[in-house]
Amino acid sequence: MRINQRMPLESIEEALISVRDHLKYLLESPSSHGREALLKSVVRRWVPLGNGDYSKIAAVDGGSNSIYFSLGEVLFIASASLFMRDTEPIRARKYQIGVLDDYYHQIRVRYCRETLEIKMLMKSLELDPEILLLDGSMLALVDRGDLATPYGYRPPYPLREIIHRVTNYIGDLASGLTSITHDLRLNEEIDRIVEDSLLDLLGMEVRRDEVRRARAFVERYEALLTLEKLLRKVISLRNVTLVGISKRSSSRAYFNERIPDMEIVRRFILENGFLEPIELRLEFPEFTGIESSYPLTLTYTKLEKGSSPLRIEILGNADIDLVRGIISSLANHSVRGYPYHLRIVHEMAKVGVDLLKHFTRNLMSPLGPVGREFLGE
Amino acid sequence: MESNILGRIAPNSTPIQADMIAYEGIVPKIGEYVIIEGDEGPLLGMISNVVRGAIELSRGDLLQANYYDKILDLLGSPSDWSKATIRIIGGLNGDELSGLPRSPPPTGALVRRAPKYLLSKIFVPPNGRGLRIGKLMTREDVDVYLDPNELVARHLAILAVTGGGKSNSVAVILEEILRMGGVAILFDIHSEYVGMSFSDCEHCEVEVIEPVLDPNYLSVDELASLLNISYSSAAKMYIYLKKAYKMAKTLLNKEVLIDKIDKAGIEAEKDDLLAGIQAILTLSLEEDGEELIHINSRDRDSVVGLISRIEYVRSSYGRVLRPTAGELADHLNYGKLVIVDLGQLGSDLTDVVVGKTLTTILLRAKDKKVGRGYETFPTPVLAVLEEAHTLIPPGANTYTSIAAASIAKEGRKFGVGLCLVSQRPKKLDSDVLSQMVNKIILRIVEPEDQSYVRRATEFLSEEMISYLPSLNVGEAVIVGPMIRMPALVKVRYFSGKRGGESLDAHRLWSEGLHRRLSASPDEYYGSIGD
Ligand SMILES: Nc1ncnc2c1ncn2[C@@H]1O[C@H](COP(=O)(O)OP(=O)(O)O)[C@@H](O)[C@H]1O
Ligand SMILES: [Mg+2]
């Protein structure tokens, strides 16, 4: 036997065939018995759409991307965009460009983008929208489970102290349109504050990546603080409804089944409509020191017959008529089952990798992006 | 932004073609001439196709217009984009057009509309003297001139559906030629030019001639064709015709043909060759007559048939067959158009008249050139033939096609140009058509006609062909050496009088109705009673 033949050289087909039956089982459940009951319960709770009377709908989305800029450093661009149709189409967009150490950079870019989006939502209130659309889930913004902080749910030292020192130095984190904790001009100063705090808290020098970790948390804090401010403001305004729309969600909060709620709606419902809404509560994690909590209304919808389901969160306690009015208004402006407002802001906010490459290659360093060339990218 | 800037070159350009992405709000037009900033100086090109879209409506899944409604409802108007295909014509050396570049224009190169002065310069013949045919279709500020030298030397075909504007183009070209003092003859098959006159041209003269064919000048084959006889179809008749023809010529030269005509009791003028042939055959047939030619008794029926054909032709074409009338070519002169009104003739006779006249013109021009007489015969001359497909069908040996073929081949040397006009290009002999190197092609709808024309035309691209069905009346693709480069041209409207324009049924009916209604009942019933 040749050596080669003693070594495994598997094809992807072989690998798939070996697990095919089990995969099929997973996709087919719930079992036919449970399935019947579930189907009934979904259909019973499915509510038809009505007329939607809201037309002043504003939508906000963000985008971001990053590229290696030197070994160990990335350049990132984050953006937030706004669209509302009043008598004229109104558009707004804000970019933030920065450089980060590559430790935790992906999550940190994400925090920056979220901060931009939330600040843009805040800004959009000046346009007096009736409905304010946010791309994604408010709940997910706040409650990230294990990803809540770079340390998981239980940070090993009192982060609040660090936040306190940073805010003392900067002032109001929730103001403006860009992320203050990502501001290039404040970069070294914030690093220094975080490092000093850690030194004081732990009584010893900390590793560089540890400083980055704490810094990332400070950046996340800015997003949460701004979000809290937004929610409070929206609740107080009364004539605007904040609605979060997700295309993907693995939440099981509605049916409490093994498969996600959204998948259940996708499989069992064809017609447009929405599920009877349920109430949830949005609470900021304890370690942030933000003590407010807000009521949320949750439902799933199909805006067009046969379209993909959407998860809908509405800030506050919304009764079924209000929910119907909102969702029906969204359906009036939906293209292939998705509110077109969100599509517009998505396109506006996109940060393509081509743009970053162009940026680094032509506008920035004569060295260009690093590392990727070995991969032929 | 400068108003003449259109866009920039997109990737994947070649030395002959390039795509251009247009600036926002600019929709390029097909046929537009453009200047591209090439690496080695500017390039001239023409837009051959334009694709347009809207960024927000470009998704493949918007399969119902309702989605468009929703999107437009929010956006007001979508973000238009346009992409044009540019065919590169050549490099520009100052104002001079040179050959195709050897490298493609660079991606991102700026594209502008070609300036008027440049195009105007390109569409004038090198010596500055040209026939003003019209304007560029996409640039109404640029006049297009044809080179008369190349027109006469390389001939011309004018092709289009009926009503496409062929006759108008003919009128414009003739007008321009006459203004220059040129010489032209027009074979007017349907009598549509008989009212033609040119305004503001003192020396311009038009003579309309009903065709006169002198039988005495016809060859025996021409006569046979007139009588609808050929050696292959009616060998005996043909043989006796040939004998009688020879005899009649001999007698005519001795000036005794009239005696035979009288003797046979035929009413005719003195030197009527055809009447003489009839007399010779009649006398030879008589039992006791003098046997001028020998007739086999078995062939008597054929000869009787031949005589009756001669009688028929003489009586029905009497007006046209005038002995010793001279030749149509005698009427040609400088600054003059001879219109041969063929409207009343059958096709056999038309073929003989046209074929004979074309041959005569070529022979005289030849003689003049080689110094064998006809020193004053006016050349160069342009002969225009309407409805050319009826006289020059594919593969046939009609008189006209033989004559046309010789002019196509030799006319250039002697200054005889031919212009063929037809609405059925594919019914035109392809050899002759391809020798009409210049072409004015107006609207042509039928695909078969289009591909036939394409095969017979060296400068015509597939893309030019694709414009043909959508052209409006008077809009033409002009190709050939008489124009500096192929172009889409709006032929100007003939300013003089032409006669024979399409009939206006609505106007004629409403005028007639008005006359009927305004007449008093008495007049009306009176006129019916007549
Ligand atoms: N260049 C032109 N501009 C405006 N009208 C035109 C033009 N050419 C032709 N026409 C009009 O179109 C009609 C048909 O034109 P004509 O030349 O007789 O067509 P064809 O000879 O191809 O049948 C005429 O009534 C003529 O007035
Ligand atoms: Mg005509």
Evaluate if residue A237 carries a pLDDT over 90.
yes
CB contact under 8 A, B73 and A341: no
Determine whether the shortest distance from the Cβ of B163 to ligand 1 is under 6 A.
Answer: yes
Domain match, B461 and B335 both: yes
Q: What is the mean pLDDT of chain B?
A: 89
Sequence letter at residue B119: L
CA of B163 to the centre of ligand 2 (A): 7
Domain match, B475 and B374 both: yes
Structural domain contains residue B502: no
Structural domain contains residue A14: no
CB contact under 8 A, B73 and A336: no
**pLDDT attached to residue A2:** 62
**B340 — pLDDT class (breaks 50, 70, 90):** very high
- The C-alpha atoms of residue A261 and residue A254 are separated, in whole angstroms, by 6
DSSP annotation string for A39-75: HHHHHHHEE---------EEEEEEEEEEEEEETTEEE
Distance from CA of A340 to the nearest CA of B (A): 7
Which ligand is located closest to the Cα atom of residue B173? Answer: 1
Structural domain contains residue A39: no
- Average pLDDT, stretch A93-110? 91
Domain match, B264 and B173 both: no
Structural domain contains residue B525: no
Q: Which residue has the higher pLDDT, A37 or B203?
A: B203
Residue among B503, B510, B478 nearest B160 (CA): B478
**pLDDT attached to residue B85:** 95
Structural domain contains residue B167: yes
**pLDDT attached to residue A349:** 95
Domain match, B310 and B432 both: no
- The C-alpha atoms of residue A144 and residue A246 are separated, in whole angstroms, by 15
Determine whether the shortest distance from the Cβ of B473 to ligand 1 is under 6 A.
Answer: yes
Q: What is the mean pLDDT of chain A?
A: 88
Structural domain contains residue B115: yes
pLDDT in tens, B270-303: 788 889 999 999 998 887 767 788 888 899 999 9
Ligand 1 site-directed mutation target among B168, B190, B502, most atoms within 8 Å of CB: B168
Strands (E), B94-152: 96-97, 110-113, 131-136, 143-146
* Helices A159-170 & A187-202 angle (0-180, nearest 10): 140
Domain match, B339 and B438 both: yes
Domain match, B408 and B427 both: yes
pLDDT in tens, B167-206: 999 999 999 999 999 999 999 998 889 888 988 889 999 9
Evaluate if residue A32 carries a pLDDT over 80.
no
Structural domain contains residue A2: no
Q: Which of A125-129, B261-265, B472-476 has the lowest mean pLDDT?
A: B261-265
Residue with tokens 């306690």: A317
**pLDDT attached to residue B226:** 82
Domain match, B283 and B395 both: no
Cβ contacts of A63 within 8 Å, gap of 6 or more: A78, A79, A81, A113, A346, A349, A350, A351
**pLDDT attached to residue B325:** 64
3-state SS string for B66-104: HHHHHHHHHHCCCCEEEEEEEEEEEEEECCEECCCCCCC
Domain count, chain A: 1
pLDDT in tens, A158-170: 778 888 899 999 8
pTM of structure:
0.66
Q: Which residue has the higher pLDDT, A180 or B225?
A: A180
Strands (E), B172-257: 183-188, 205-209
Domain count, chain B: 3
Evaluate if residue A377 carries a pLDDT over 50.
no
Tokens of A326: 């909102």
Contact B121, B92 (CB under 8 A): no
**pLDDT attached to residue A182:** 94
Structural domain contains residue A167: yes
**A376 — pLDDT class (breaks 50, 70, 90):** very low
Contacts of B62 in chain A (CB under 8 A): 335-336
The domain spanning residue B368 has which CATH number?
3.40.50.300
**pLDDT attached to residue B437:** 95
SS3 call for B321? coil
**pLDDT attached to residue A375:** 46
pLDDT in tens, A338-367: 999 999 999 999 999 888 888 777 766 555
Determine whether the shortest distance from the Cβ of B168 to ligand 1 is under 6 A.
Answer: yes
**pLDDT attached to residue A147:** 60
- Average pLDDT, stretch B250-270? 88
H/E run at residue B238: helix B235-253
Determine whether the shortest distance from the Cβ of B164 to ligand 1 is under 6 A.
Answer: yes
Q: Note the maximum CA span of chain A.
A: 79
Determine whether the shortest distance from the Cβ of B502 to ligand 1 is under 6 A.
Answer: yes
Structural domain contains residue A43: no
Evaluate if residue B317 carries a pLDDT over 80.
no
Q: Which residues surround ligand 2, an ion (CB under 5 A)?
A: B 166-167
Distance from CA of A226 to the nearest CA of B (A): 29
Evaluate if residue A149 carries a pLDDT over 70.
no
Structural domain contains residue B210: no
CA of B422 to the centre of ligand 2 (A): 8
Domain match, B462 and B428 both: yes
CB contact under 8 A, A340 and B74: yes
Tokens of A368: 């260009």
Mutate to test the interface with B, among A55, A84, A272, A335 (most CBs of B within 10 A): A335
Domain match, B336 and B485 both: yes
Domain match, B349 and B476 both: yes
CB contact under 8 A, A336 and B76: no
Domain match, B189 and B261 both: no
- Average pLDDT, stretch A315-320? 95
Domain's final residue, options B265, B288, B316? B316
CA of B424 to the centre of ligand 2 (A): 12
Structural domain contains residue A353: yes
Q: Which of A90-94, A366-370, B504-508 has the lowest mean pLDDT?
A: A366-370
Half-sphere exposure of B326 (CA within 13 A, CB side): 7
Evaluate if residue A374 carries a pLDDT over 70.
no
Contacts of B76 in chain A (CB under 8 A): 88-89
CA of B494 to the centre of ligand 1 (A): 9
Evaluate if residue A26 carries a pLDDT over 80.
no
Domain's final residue, options B298, B316, B334? B316
Buried b (16+ CB within 10 A) or exposed e, B230-252: eeeebebbbebbbbbbebbbebb
Cβ contacts of B305 within 8 Å, gap of 6 or more: B237
Tokens of A186: 């404040």
Structural domain contains residue A369: no
Tokens of B413: 């040397």
Evaluate if residue B478 carries a pLDDT over 60.
yes
> How many contacts, defined by CB atoms under 8 Å, are there between A and B?
27
Domain match, B94 and B30 both: yes
Distance from CA of A333 to the nearest CA of B (A): 6
**pLDDT attached to residue A30:** 57
**pLDDT attached to residue A145:** 64
The reply to whether B65 touches chain A by the CB within 8 Å rule is no
Residue B485's domain spans which residues?
144-197+326-491
Contact A263, A30 (CB under 8 A): no
- Average pLDDT, stretch B471-493? 93
Ligand 1 site-directed mutation target among B473, B478, B492, most atoms within 8 Å of CB: B473
ipTM of the complex model: 0.73
Residue A127's domain spans which residues?
57-363
